[in-house]
Structure 1
Amino acid sequence: MDEVSLSDRLGDQLRRLCEAGGIGTAEPSELLESLLGPAGAQPLSAPPRWPSNVADDHTPVEFSIAFSATEPPTVRILGETLGAPPGRSTNMLATQRFLDTQAHRAGLSTSRLDSVRDLFTTDDPQGAFALWCSLVFRSGRRPEFKVYLNPELRGVDRAPGLISEALHRLGLGRSYRAMLDHGIRPGELGHQDRLTFFALDLHDDAQARVKVYLTHHDAGVPDVLRAAGVADGVDTTRLAEFATLAGGGRTRFTGLPLVGSYTLVEGADRPVGYSLYVPIRGYVDDDEEAYDRVVAVLDRYGFGRTVLDRALAAVARRPLRDGVGLIPHLSLRLGAPRPGVTVYLSAEAYQVTPPVRRPVTVDRTALATPTGRAGAGHP
């Protein structure tokens, strides 16, 4: 019997995920095949060709489903095309070739990307990645494309200046300064608060976005509320509620870091939207617990669990209690252009992270007899 390939596994998951969201499957499947490139043919019995940071198990693709009050659910792929041989530079070139091919076929606008491309190009990229891309599928519409660039590819200390120059070229310098004034804790730029993603939509309509992402290590909810307060249309009360629900009641995230993103548009002096990403997998024992938190968030914001259940059935190959990380992140989008909730789903093509098995603490005092000896149960 033929071995299951990476393309086989991810293609089946994507097809079923699109069906769960009421989205046609032909074009998404073709784009996924092209995105994976030659790596798609690799059997899953072999180890990953490259330790991609897209997913914990190094699968070079992550799925997500976005809920919005104004439109049907949206399915998204975040992916990295692997070069031959795989490496930061070769992966960057392979992903760029994929995007160039799609720009020609689909008439994508790369003008903003072209204006900053040189800033994010180097012969020796550093960090976890150099270039990723996102494919967005909406019911009844053509796919949309977005690129993710790494501000730290020339070094962590050069990220602020690199982003400053990129946004200056794009006419967004004032929004960036306002973002830094609110989003960075004193003395923490490049330390506990880091500029980790710079994203551009590859289209020119009124909702095209530039997004800047800040990763907040060892951050409390008040830190996030201050960071988000600079963006128009952000209800910080709702944001605090979301962080509490997603985080299981904690007010500080000392493990995996929180991530915030700002939406910037021309003509605005400050960001027009904000999203908070909670790495829920780092704060639960298993995906059954993660599911309960996601359902609580979806119910709170009026989306329900029906589509979520279909999406999990499309992607999961195991009971939720048998691992952790199938639901790696949960995000709340506030402000322009499409407020709502996004649930991220790992393909787990290569590996399932075991659940956390915490030791049971026995209160020996409660089990003691009146004479102080341990009770023996029934006579």
Structure 2
Amino acid sequence: MGKATLSLADDISGLTSELCRAVGLSHSTNAAEEYADLVREMLGPGGDRPIGQPPAWPSDVADDHTPVEFSLAVDRAGRPAVRLLLETLGEGTSIEANVCAAQELLPRLAERYGFSLAAFDAVADLFLPKHPQGRFAWWWSVVLRLGLPPAFKIYFNPEVRGRAVAGELVEAGLDRLGFGGAYPNLRRRLRPGDELDRYSFFSIDLHTQPDPRVKVYLSHHDGDLAQLLRTAGAARQVEEEQIREFTAIAGGHRGRFTGRPLISSLSFLAGDTDRASGFSVYLPVRDYAEDDEVALARAHALLAGHGLDRALLDRALTVLARRPLNEGVGLIPHLSLRTGRPHTGLTVYLSAESYAVTPPRPESLAS
């Protein structure tokens, strides 16, 4: 089947099963097929559209509007996980249609995998208004690990009712889920106004445990290491030196990030009253590297610095890289570091590039 007639669902589900095999997550053919079928189902009706046609919905998940972004996460023990950030595509071409399709899917997944909807029910009315604003309202994360059932997370858009009330939604969401005391500590670490440090995502884990994790993500426009460390102070057990080293290597030893913003997240677990348990930083390396060869070299350096096997990433790229690395930028869009609880590790994000490839960036712009 040629690319002109290959559907988005066929493309992404095939890559998913191949990627899981490449990094050792598919212990059987059945597991690989299960993952592929799950992704096909989660893409929704819009997944049937051929990728030879322009995307019907301009999803903001990836630069070329592919509604999926892969990532390879490796913890300190070297155990890999394949993750997908995914937007369900509805029958129409609107945020409302996508939300409707996701809402229809949610109870089926909950019944099949046995997770609770209590956290979702507690905050859904905050983040799913009748007329959502912004570029999205509901994204999913699917985490695939060896020997475990898929794990799910929902990402909500704090600016779905407008940027001016994003903080109020985050505060209300944290309060409803038992973390209201942490919001003042977070808020005072941000720069004044609502332009530089913006709430990007509010996420909830869909787990079988009674107390799922909650995460708050922030985009730090025109940010630097100092702002990252200031925000990190809203969490416990943050390893500042690791954040310094990660930012220097992943960002090419720059001071201020004036392109796509640095992103941080705070992870809230049961018992967190005034501060979060974990802190992560996400660096959009595609804006600060000439091409994907440079981005890969930085990812290799980070993995080596943490004593992790870079061969896992190389095997993943044999599946996803459909062109020479020096002929584009964005196949590796983000690099991230997790510190604190529940676990630490590195993540390399990987694009499917189902629709388009971003040309290499001139060295003068990347630096």
- Measured against the shorter chain, the TM-score band is over 0.9
1:150 to 143, 154, 157: 157
User: Secondary structure, in 3 states, of the residue corresponding to 1:158?
Assistant: helix
User: Secondary structure, in 3 states, of the residue corresponding to 1:356?
Assistant: coil
CA distance in 1, matches of 2:359, 2:102: 31
Cα distance, 1:4 vs. partner? 1.7
Tell me the amino acid that sits aligned with residue 238 of structure 1. Q
2:51 to 28, 44, 47: 44
Q: Deviations over 1:37-64 (max 9, x none)?
A: 2222211110001000000000011100
Q: Which residue does the alignment assign to 2:287?
A: 282
TM-score, normalised via structure 2 length? 0.94
Cα distance, 1:100 vs. partner? 2.0
Contact 2:289-2:363 within 8 A present in 1 as well: no
Q: Deviations over 1:195-252 (max 9, x none)?
A: 1100000114388310000110001111111111231111111101100000000011
CA distance in 1, matches of 2:21, 2:212: 26
Quote the RMSD (CA, aligned, Å). Answer: 1.5
Q: Which residue does the alignment assign to 2:337?
A: 332
Matched, 1:171 2:156: no
Gaps of 5+ in 1: 360-379
71 and 17 in structure 1: CA distance in 2 versus 1, 3 angstrom threshold = same
Tell me the amino acid that sits aligned with residue 20 of structure 2. C
User: Secondary structure, in 3 states, of the residue corresponding to 2:200?
Assistant: strand
1:308 to 288, 304, 313: 313
When structure 1 is superposed on structure 2, of 142-151 and 13-22 the one drifting more is: 13-22
Cα distance, 1:351 vs. partner? 0.3
Matched, 1:225 2:229: yes
Q: Which residue does the alignment assign to 2:72?
A: 65
TM-score, normalised via structure 1 length? 0.91
Matched, 1:259 2:266: no
CA distance in 1, matches of 2:250, 2:295: 8
CA distance in 1, matches of 2:195, 2:270: 29
Cα distance, 1:72 vs. partner? 1.7
Cα distance, 1:266 vs. partner? 2.9
Q: How many aligned residue pairs are there?
A: 357
Matched, 1:234 2:259: no
When structure 1 is superposed on structure 2, of 23-32 and 311-320 the one drifting more is: 23-32
Q: Which residue does the alignment assign to 1:349?
A: 354
User: Secondary structure, in 3 states, of the residue corresponding to 2:339?
Assistant: strand
Contact 1:110-1:202 within 8 A present in 2 as well: yes
Contact 1:60-1:80 within 8 A present in 2 as well: yes
CA distance in 1, matches of 2:230, 2:68: 32
Contact 1:21-1:72 within 8 A present in 2 as well: no
User: Secondary structure, in 3 states, of the residue corresponding to 1:198?
Assistant: strand
CA distance in 2, matches of 1:75, 1:358: 31
Tell me the amino acid that sits aligned with residue 68 of structure 2. V
Cα distance, 1:260 vs. partner? 0.3
What is the aligned-residue identity percentage? 47
CA distance in 2, matches of 1:52, 1:150: 14
Contact 1:63-1:344 within 8 A present in 2 as well: yes
Tell me the amino acid that sits aligned with residue 23 of structure 2. G
CA distance in 2, matches of 1:357, 1:118: 45
Q: Which residue does the alignment assign to 2:135?
A: 128
User: Secondary structure, in 3 states, of the residue corresponding to 1:48?
Assistant: coil
Tell me the amino acid that sits aligned with residue 281 of structure 1. R
Cα distance, 1:357 vs. partner? 3.5
Q: Which residue does the alignment assign to 1:247?
A: 251
Q: Which residue does the alignment assign to 2:13?
A: 11
207 and 297 in structure 1: CA distance in 2 versus 1, 3 angstrom threshold = farther
Gaps of 5+ in 2: 27-31
CA distance in 1, matches of 2:81, 2:182: 28
